[in-house]
Structure 1
Amino acid sequence: MPDWLIERGIGEDRALLIENDRVLAAKCRWHGELHAGQQVEAKLTTKRGSRGTGELADGREILLDKLPRELTEGANLPVVITRGAIAERGRLKLPSARPADTVRTGAADVFETGKTVHRFPSGSWEDVWEEASRGQVDFAGGSLLFAVTPAMTLIDIDGDLGPGELGAKAVHVIGDRLGRFDLGGSIGIDFPTLEAKADRKAVDAALDEALDHWPHERTAMNGFGFVQLVARLEGPSLLHRMATSRVGAAARMALRRAERVEGAGITLLTVHPALKAKLKPEWLEELEKRTGRQVRIETDPGLAIEAAAAQIISHD
């Protein structure tokens, strides 16, 4: 059976579902975020029918749904987060919640039930992170290009193979990456146009098989090769984080690299100047505590945002 492994990082926790050294799914939770399944106390600030807004003790605002008719503004109530906040271009979708007594117990929180490990298997998180950062997955004869939009996540299929063969190969890669990128919500797949209805049905059947493990609803492929998937959305996917909080994601990855270099001396972390401002003092203190080494930060404007480098240098 596959096992969820958990890394407790600096600024984030990471989860990988691994079976026989193969990553089936990945999740990432940034510290301080509200997440699906979390119970909090909220004060009802506005109410319009069964919907409204609430305020938490720390001042954060949330959206509320399924409010009882008799509840009035100003009341306090326990609620369960059903979707975390999601940043989009030009706006932020506030976290969504419902009264605790209206929420059925869902699947177990993998960050609570998974096995905490000191380190993931070598290269496993790096492979997932780098693919999400690129927004591109290559396979024999083609590639998938991922684009996050406010309306949906789009997957474009490109390659040199014939349309039928390209589509058939792509479905298996798509089936893998939906879990590895923790995708949910509305997802559009643009397959190469297949003129024959029989060819479209064949790719449709292959897609059914590839997504059999992933709860969702979907449309059949239309004449232009477009398929829409809809799945439960609980928070930002890895692709969303890269699209809307790229510097924050890269800063956390830089700390992970710095934590993993070994040796005696000083940890030298070289980053793009934009990353330095994201490295919170408490994160650097935690890095020094975990490694037992002093940390020095240097900047290099020639580095890519994602290309932070860590090494051990001798004491001056």
Structure 2
Amino acid sequence: MAEWLYEAGIGEARAALVEHGTILEARLAPDRPGPALGAVLAARLVEITVKGREGRVAFAGGEALLSPLPPGITQGAALTVELVREAIPEPGRAKLPRCAPAEGPERAGPTLLERITATGVPVRICHAHEPDHLEAAGWSEVLEEALTGDIVFSGPVGGALRMSPTPAMTLFDVDGYPPLDPLALAAARAVAAAIVRLDIGGSIGVDFPTLQGKAARAAVDAALDAGIPQPFERTAMNGFGFVQIIRRRPRASLPELLRADPAAAQARALLRRIERTPPPVPAHNRVSVAVQKVLQANPHWIAELARRTGVTPIFEVA
């Protein structure tokens, strides 16, 4: 039976949908400023960027792109908006959130715990003093996949995927040995599972081996359709083995979240390991310069770790 495992970690909340000891979906919600998806906010239109179609609004704590524009609205007008896409981190900049006109009282967007509870799947709240259920299901391996892009798949024909997030799309390159037809079919199932597991949305490109027969290409298309939940759109595999998939992208994927600030991701993972260390918890910890800077910039993380463990940690550069 499937269940969600949830941890209220230091600096982040984390969850994994697990079935038969395998992580089907991994979700991470780092503590960061700005509203979450679904938040309803009081805003003001500060700029009309595309006449009659799109504008930029400001609200307490940030800005967002607004589309569609309410009829007759003018620059400077107050309005209520709902966040329909969170900010997306990209190298050198971040895509602004997107919002739409809304009505009703202001409210915060649902938390990660509220989101997984709403799925109707049982939720198990995990605590640091218990066995590490997330790790037993492969949590570190999934994070490693997201950070490196290296995804190995097995079956009758094994191979590997190389995942590369770019500002334009997330690309998957398939690598393996002949025969190519079963390799491409196994890769299609692995790509579909990775898309769901890592919460990848937007434009996705998959470079399969070039297949000669229409039946083999159709089998790959069918495997993608079976493995990726609707709604999504895709092209049929072309003669060069390329398939494009389009999914909704309401928030950053797991690879984007981790790669946006690797040092912060490492710092949060370190705090998780320390919190789970059986007593006596060592006070002195060796870290990289980058991780130390992150921890110094977030003293409330260190204070929370001290509260949870009863030890005031000291972080020294290795």
Fold match, TM over 0.5? yes
- The structural deviation recorded for 1:110 is 4.9
- The structural deviation recorded for 1:231 is 0.6
Maintained 8 Å contact 1:258/1:267: no
Does the C-alpha gap of structure 1 residues 70 and 242 become closer, same or farther in structure 2, counting only changes over 3 Å?
A: same
Match for 1:49: what amino acid? G
- Residue 171 of structure 1 aligns with which residue? 188
1:297 aligns with 2:315: yes
- Residue 86 of structure 2 aligns with which residue? 84
Match for 1:83: what amino acid? R
For residues 28 and 43 of structure 1, the distance between their equivalents in structure 2, rounded to whole angstroms, comes to 31
- The structural deviation recorded for 1:57 is 1.8
What secondary structure does 2:294 align onto? coil
For residues 108 and 179 of structure 1, the distance between their equivalents in structure 2, rounded to whole angstroms, comes to 20
The TM-score, its normalising length taken from structure 1, stands at 0.86
| Residue number among 49, 52, 71 corresponding to 2:52 in the alignment | 49
- The structural deviation recorded for 1:122 is 4.2
For residues 42 and 3 of structure 1, the distance between their equivalents in structure 2, rounded to whole angstroms, comes to 38
For residues 226 and 162 of structure 2, the distance between their equivalents in structure 1, rounded to whole angstroms, comes to 21
- Residue 19 of structure 2 aligns with which residue? 19
- Residue 191 of structure 1 aligns with which residue? 208
- The structural deviation recorded for 1:201 is 1.7
Maintained 8 Å contact 2:233/2:245: yes
For residues 33 and 250 of structure 1, the distance between their equivalents in structure 2, rounded to whole angstroms, comes to 22
For residues 85 and 7 of structure 1, the distance between their equivalents in structure 2, rounded to whole angstroms, comes to 23
- Residue 311 of structure 1 aligns with which residue? none
Please, what is the CA RMSD of the aligned residues? 2.1
For residues 147 and 284 of structure 2, the distance between their equivalents in structure 1, rounded to whole angstroms, comes to 24
- The structural deviation recorded for 1:149 is 0.7
For residues 283 and 3 of structure 2, the distance between their equivalents in structure 1, rounded to whole angstroms, comes to 33
| Higher mean C-alpha deviation, range 199-208 or range 144-153 | 199-208
What secondary structure does 2:45 align onto? strand
What secondary structure does 2:259 align onto? helix
Match for 2:10: what amino acid? I
What secondary structure does 2:313 align onto? strand
Maintained 8 Å contact 1:37/1:109: no
1:127 aligns with 2:129: no
Maintained 8 Å contact 1:4/1:110: no
- CA deviations 1:94-149 (Å, max 9, x no partner) are 111111249xxxx9865215334325614132222122122111123310110011
What secondary structure does 2:275 align onto? helix
Does the C-alpha gap of structure 1 residues 33 and 18 become closer, same or farther in structure 2, counting only changes over 3 Å?
A: farther
Maintained 8 Å contact 2:303/2:312: no
For residues 78 and 273 of structure 2, the distance between their equivalents in structure 1, rounded to whole angstroms, comes to 43
Does the C-alpha gap of structure 1 residues 288 and 162 become closer, same or farther in structure 2, counting only changes over 3 Å?
A: same
For residues 200 and 269 of structure 2, the distance between their equivalents in structure 1, rounded to whole angstroms, comes to 20
Does the C-alpha gap of structure 1 residues 109 and 284 become closer, same or farther in structure 2, counting only changes over 3 Å?
A: closer
What secondary structure does 1:270 align onto? strand
1:269 aligns with 2:285: yes
- Residue 36 of structure 1 aligns with which residue? 37
Maintained 8 Å contact 1:142/1:161: no
List aligned pairs for 1:73-112, cutoff 5 A. 73-101=75-103, 110-112=112-114
1:251 aligns with 2:273: no
The TM-score, its normalising length taken from structure 2, stands at 0.85
- CA deviations 1:139-172 (Å, max 9, x no partner) are 2331011001111000000012322121111122
- Residue 283 of structure 1 aligns with which residue? 301
- The structural deviation recorded for 1:77 is 2.1
| Higher mean C-alpha deviation, range 262-271 or range 189-198 | 262-271
Maintained 8 Å contact 1:37/1:82: yes
List aligned pairs for 1:203-218, cutoff 5 A. 203-211=220-228, 213-218=229-234
| Residue number among 253, 260, 263 corresponding to 1:237 in the alignment | 253
Maintained 8 Å contact 2:88/2:97: yes
| Residue number among 173, 176, 180 corresponding to 1:156 in the alignment | 173
Q: Which runs of 5+ in 2 are unaligned?
A: 118-122
